[in-house]
């Protein structure tokens, strides 16, 4: 079955700092037409950084869209033309003051596929330079917390950690460590 | 540390069928102000439905934002005021023609927390009525595929299934089945 939808016409609604919004007219597989509301986003990169004792570095941050503080792995939006791997290392350094000399790719996640083209690239690592200070943007407020990896996995399973990229990164990292691959 | 950002003023940019976009002025913890571009969305519900033989029911669907066909678990947007559990059962029935008499909650995921308030509710089940026909919307085109749960888990780990809710649901469902809890 051909399920492809074909672009016909695009109307730009908004061109913001983070969100870009379009309404596209598309041709459906059955010959009809429909409109698709599409958010475009630069994408993001994040890292599950573990200490030698299997402690995961998390950042606690107020997320305005939810009115809640959330526990997340260090992450950030890609700058224009930025390589996701470089963006991830930058965010790790700025948010946690740590680096590593080896990273394992945990692949990509498409967070919300119905109306948004965002892709988030995920890595895991062992922290090799635990020293260093945070280097945050002036309007960035977050706290670093260490959490035992197995406790983090239990919290994901128990619905106590809700950020999607963090859920995926923790479950994949736990599987790798269990298999002796990280 | 107080990290809360306080609402000051809201400007509506777009009020669509799926996407609603606002720009809010907020007060930062340090007393300064900033703008937050916020997508609001009704939220979604989805289900990892397994046969007695540990086959997972997936839907293959063209996703316009990516220009790709993706493999996803059955899912849908909440209608106005709709209970997520009822929405999930409706989507399972419409997209796969199946039902179950017992569902296990896999919790909630916040797919992209920086600018979007969407929440996706996830369940798992064993299919008890495998018969029945799809009942799709006129502009909905998708194909159901059965995939062995362990193969699905391997594909998530190998970055071959990229939809976020589907990655989370597969990893959590595999853990539950392995623990004899589903």
**Residue B69 is nearest to which of A3, A120, A163, comparing CB atoms?**
A3
**pLDDT value, residue B173:** 98
Distance from CA of A101 to the nearest CA of B (A): 22
User: Could you tell me which chain A residue has the CA closest to the CA of B77?
Assistant: A114
**pLDDT value, residue B130:** 62
Q: Higher confidence at residue A43 or residue A135?
A: A43
Interface mutation vs chain A, best among B3, B112, B162, most A CBs within 10 Å: B112
**pLDDT value, residue B137:** 79
Q: In this predicted structure, which of A16-20, A160-164, B135-139, B169-173 has the lowest mean pLDDT?
A: B135-139
- pLDDT at A42 > cutoff 80: yes
Contact A114 B3 (CB under 8 A): no
- pLDDT at A131 > cutoff 60: no
Residues 6+ apart with CB under 8 A from A180: none
Contact B164 A109 (CB under 8 A): yes
The confidence band for B13, taking pLDDT boundaries of 50, 70 and 90, is very high
Pairs across A and B, CB distance < 8 A: 200
| Segment B32-77, tens digit of pLDDT | 999 999 999 999 999 999 999 999 999 999 999 999 999 999 999 9
The conformation of residue B97, written as its DSSP 8-state character, comes to S
Distance from CA of A154 to the nearest CA of B (A): 11
Distance from CA of B95 to the nearest CA of A (A): 15
User: Could you tell me which chain B residue has the CA closest to the CA of A155?
Assistant: B107
| Segment B81-94, tens digit of pLDDT | 899 999 999 999 99
Contact B167 A109 (CB under 8 A): yes
Record the tokens describing residue B82, joined without a space.
């709709």
Distance of CA A158 to the CA centre of its chain: 21
User: Could you tell me which chain A residue has the CA closest to the CA of B7?
Assistant: A64
**pLDDT value, residue A130:** 63
Q: What is the mean pLDDT of residues A34-47?
A: 97
- Bridge partners for A142 per DSSP: A61
**Residue B113 is nearest to which of A38, A39, A66, comparing CB atoms?**
A66
- pLDDT at B162 > cutoff 80: yes
Q: Higher confidence at residue A151 or residue B2?
A: A151
Residues 6+ apart with CB under 8 A from B92: B47, B49, B74, B98, B99, B100, B125
Task: Report the mean per-residue pLDDT for chain A.
Answer: 95
**pLDDT value, residue A80:** 87
| Distance set, CA A90 to CA A86, A94, B18 (Å) | 6, 6, 34
- pLDDT at A139 > cutoff 80: no
User: Could you tell me which chain B residue has the CA closest to the CA of A71?
Assistant: B113
Contact A73, A46 (CB under 8 A): yes
ipTM at complex level: 0.96
pTM across the whole model: 0.96
Strands A33-40 and A103-109: unpaired
**pLDDT value, residue A133:** 75
Task: Report the mean per-residue pLDDT for chain B.
Answer: 95
User: Within a 10 A sphere around the Cβ of A107, how many other Cβ atoms?
Assistant: 19
**Residue A63 is nearest to which of B113, B138, B175, comparing CB atoms?**
B113
């Amino acid at each position: 079955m051909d399920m492809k939808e074909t672009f016909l016409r695009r109307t730009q609604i908004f061109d913001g700092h983070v969100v870009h919004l379009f309404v596209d007219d598309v041709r459906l597989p059955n010959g009809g037409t429909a409109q698709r509301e599409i958010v475009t986003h630069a994408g993001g990169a994040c890292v599950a950084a573990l200490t030698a004792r299997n402690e995961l570095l998390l950042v606690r941050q107020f997320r305005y869209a939810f009115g809640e503080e959330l526990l997340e792995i260090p992450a950030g939006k890609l700058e224009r033309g930025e390589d996701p791997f470089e963006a991830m290392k930058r965010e790790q350094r700025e948010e946690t003051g740590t680096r590593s000399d080896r990273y394992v790719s945990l692949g990509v996640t498409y967070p919300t596929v119905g109306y948004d083209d965002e892709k988030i690239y995920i890595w895991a690592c062992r922290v090799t330079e635990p020293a260093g200070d945070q280097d945050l943007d002036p309007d960035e407020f977050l706290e670093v917390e260490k959490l035992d990896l197995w406790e983090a996995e239990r919290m994901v399973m128990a619905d106590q950690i809700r950020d999607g990229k963090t859920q995926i990164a923790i479950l994949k990292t736990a599987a790798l460590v269990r298999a002796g691959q990280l």
